[in-house]
Every structure is written in C-alpha cells, then in structure tokens.
Amino acid sequence: MPATVPVRVRLAPSPTGTLHIGTARTAVFNWLFARHLGGSFLLRIEDTDRERSKPEFTANILDGLRWLGLTWDEEPVVQSERIEAHREAIEQLLERGHAYRCYASDAELTAMRERQQAEGRAPRYDNLHRDLSAEQQQAYIAEGREAVIRFRIDDGATITWSDLVRGEMRWAGSDLGGDMVIARRAPATAIGDPLYNLVVVVDDAAMAISHVIRGEDHIANTGKQLLLYAALGLTPPQFAHTPLILNQEGRKLSKRDGVTSVGDFRAMGYTAEALVNYMTLLGWSPPEGIGERFSLEQAAAVFSFERVNRAGARFDWDKLNWLNAQVLHGLAAGELRQRLLPLWQARGWGEGAAADAAWQEDLCTLLGPSLSLLADGVDQAAPFFTAPEPDDAALALRTDAGSRGALGALLERLPQGPLDAETAQGLLAEAATAAGVKKGVLMKGLRAALLGSLKGPDLLTTWLLLHRLDSDRERIVAAL
C-alpha cells in the first residue's frame, strides 16, 4: 500500500453482547496506531446478526469505549444499513463467475461431512454444485430448492500478505474449507442475507480502511477476504493480527473465566486509566524509558507493531491491581472524591454534615493511599458515614476496666467545638493520666469505639474527621 494513503483504522464490534475485554484491547491497539500516525479511528457496528443484535448492546459498547477514552473520529457506520451495497457486490461476483448458487440441502451437507469424517478427512464443502449446468439448476429450482451463494476458492491458490505483527504469511486455498458461503439460503432468483467475510470486505473498502488490526483468530478470514478483494477489484488494506488474551491456564479468555466485559471491571472498581494501561501491556512491550505506568497519550507517542508480541498474553490480576492502585494513589483528593461520590450516594451516604465537600476531600486524603479499587473506597469509608457494629476484639475492650476508664476520662474532656491535632494529642495524654493507664490503652479503646475494630486508618485523623461530624461523642458513649 502506498505510504501516502491516509491511515484509517476501525473497530467493528458485533452488538450481540457487552463490550468484551478482548474487543476493548483491539480497540486500544487500533486507537494507539491511529493516534501515533495522525490517522483516524473509526467505528462500524456489525449488526447483521438480526436475532442476537440488540440496541442495548450497541449502547453498552459505545459507553464503554467513551469511558476508556477511546474517542472515534467519524459517525459510526451501521452495517445493516448497507445491505444493498453488499448485495450489489454479490451480484458482481455472480456476473463475473466468481460466485454461484449452491442448492445442496442441509441433509446433503450433513451426510457429506459425516462421510468425510468417517474417511478421516477434515470436513469441508466438496464444491459439488460449483459447475452445475443450466438444466441441473432448473431441476433443483423445480424441486422448490433454495440456494446459498458461494464464492469460488481455488484449492491450488496461495494467499500471501505481509502481516505487521507476524511478518510474511502464506495460506493455501485448499486449507480454507472449500467454496465459501457469502449469502444465506434464499429463493433461486434472490440473494439472501450477505455474510461476514463478504460484508467486511465491502465495508472496509467503502470506509477507505488502510489497516485492519484484529485478533489472531481472524487469520483464516484474512485469507478468504484477500481473495474477495481481488475478485471485486479492490485494493486490500494492510493487516495486523494481535495475540489473543489468555487465562492463567493458557486458554483463550472466555465467559467461563468470570469477569470478561469492560462493564464488569468498571463495576468492580477498576479505573479507566488502569484498564487501558493494562490492556496496552497485554501483548505490547513499551520501549525503555516509558515504564509500565503510562497514559494513552504517552503510549500513542511511542506505539508500533514492532513491539507487539506474537504469543498470547496471559491475564495477570496482580499487575492490573497494582496499576489500579497506582492510579488511585496519584489522584488529588478532589478527583478521588468525584469518583467515589456516586458510589457513596448510591448507599445514601453523605447527608447533613457529611455532605460537606471539604470534609469528604479530607476523608479521601486519609483513605486514598490504601485503596487498590474504587470499591475499597466504599468499604473503608463505611464506618465514617454510619456507626459500625463492633467486631469481637472491639467488644472485648468494652469490658476492660482500664479502657473504659480512659474512654470515660476522654469523654469528660471532649470539647463541643472544633478540635485540632495538637489539642487532641493533649486530651489523649490528660485522659490516660487521669485514668492511670498508658496512652496506648486509650488509643486502642478509642479506635474500637470509633471504628468498631482494632484495625483502620490513622487514628488521630479518623478521630478529627468524626469529631467534625459530632459523631465521636455518641460513639464513645455507645461503647461505654
């Protein structure tokens, strides 16, 4: 392909389900390649599977891409709206002798496959109806048979292309399964619904796609599609087949592995920044100097297929969790609050004094360094918004005389108004002395009273935050 051809890549999801992590990773590589070369990233909704395609899946896919920051440059193309162009291409192939009508029934095809399997051969269409005479065709039509339309594939053909990831590729025509169906069964005078390999070629050509970047599971399709490009007199794009995402056992990541959709990751509390960062690392090695933590824009500046691996990429939860923690730890308190606030509000938190933005930001400053997921910011914030039920260790302290005496002494000294860190430290020392216990005993009792647990964030900061809500007093009273 001439170097002067503008770079135009596309993501072509099928709206038969939610946005899968594999599709999203393909979108990331397409977006990075386009942005690196100043090209265009386009979308095409491949909704020709009428029974399984649903508008809500399209909405989910578009929303997921927006959330990830993978913006597109033109209005999405809807494949089902181009069916006439697909049928025109099929008519051209029929007129030029590259395609023909096949009247073989389902029963005949099944018998053919069973015979091949019995003989130890790989099932494939035997091209039986490729050269029917006019009389034979009329006889089938008279029987009331309908026909699919098949594209002729020469078993002796050799299909080659230079893959941006895998280098020089060769595919034998004999390995493509016989003449390919390009339109579903329909009456002999009609053209049935056009099928995937045909419509992809027609639409990519119409969209002037320069590079097709997709998973390695499409390699066989590429061989078939290159034959269609030639038969239609179209210039093919360049191809790049990226490695599949594998589970820990080395198999292709699937629904059986649990979380596979972008929406699932989002609901679990992963950030868009961490997810696109991690998806970029699934099959691509960044050059020295960029490290493993980077933004989309930083990756786009150095992206190339020379650093895309051929081997499958195993999904590593530990790496994703580390990246997500890095993102959360790097957020300013105000930004972290903006992300956590909808999750808090969904639980009815953040009313009254706790609705104060400054107080919420201070809470985020306290919790931020310990978060790995946004969901952690819900769990760890819970005892600040609602008094928690004490655990066994906290309950045990309620019967400890030293702890109760120290908490009582502290309660007597609690001011009604503002409390700062220096004053709070002084009150702890006074109360411990008055109760005749070590300061540590009081600190442990105070943590149990405020948080219902002996574990938690910095105690002094926790106390000051709860004091600003005037809830420290009632929690100490409840503990006593």
CA pseudo-torsion sign 67, 68, 70, 76:
negative
- Beta 147-151 vs 99-102: how paired, if at all? antiparallel
Contacts of 187 (CB under 8 A, 6+ apart): 146, 147
Contact 130, 104 (CB under 8 A): no
- Annotation marks residue 319 as catalytic: no
**Residues contacting 447, CB < 8 A, separation 6+:** 453, 454, 456, 459, 462
Distance, CA of 235 to CA of 233 (rounded, Å): 7
Cβ neighbours of 164 (radius 10 Å)? 19
Contacts of 425 (CB under 8 A, 6+ apart): 460
Q: Taking the CA atoms of 191, 192, 198 and 204 in sequence, report the sign of the dihedral they define.
A: positive
Residue type, 30: N
State the sign of the Cα–Cα–Cα–Cα dihedral 306, 312, 316, 317: positive
Task: Tell me the one-letter amino acid at 346.
Answer: A
The residue type of 167 is G
- The two three-digit tokens of residue 182, written as one number: 């390009």
Q: What is the dihedral of CA 467, 473, 479, 480, to 10 degrees?
A: 150
Which amino acid is residue 246, in one-letter code? L
Using a 10 angstrom Cβ sphere, with 0-12 exposed, 13-18 middle and 19 or more buried, the burial of residue 148 is: buried
Task: Say which of 252, 255, 439, 455 is annotated catalytic.
Answer: 255
Q: Which of 9, 70, 18 is nearest to 44 (CA)?
A: 9
Provide the 10 A C-beta neighbour count for residue 425. Answer: 12
Select from 180, 177, 174 the least CA-distant residue to 199: 180
In the structure encoding, which two tokens stand for residue 247, read together?
């589970």
Cα 324 from Cα 310, distance rounded (Å): 26
Containing H/E element for 191? none
Q: Which of 447, 457, 435 is nearest to 398 (CA)?
A: 447
Evaluate whether 147 touches 185 at the Cβ level (below 8 Å): yes
What sign does the CA torsion over 413, 416, 419, 423 have? negative
With left for phi above 0 and alpha for psi between -120 and 50, is residue 436 left, alpha or beta? Answer: left
- Asked if residue 94 lies in contact with residue 100, where contact means CB atoms within 8 angstroms, the answer is yes
The catalytic residue positions are 255
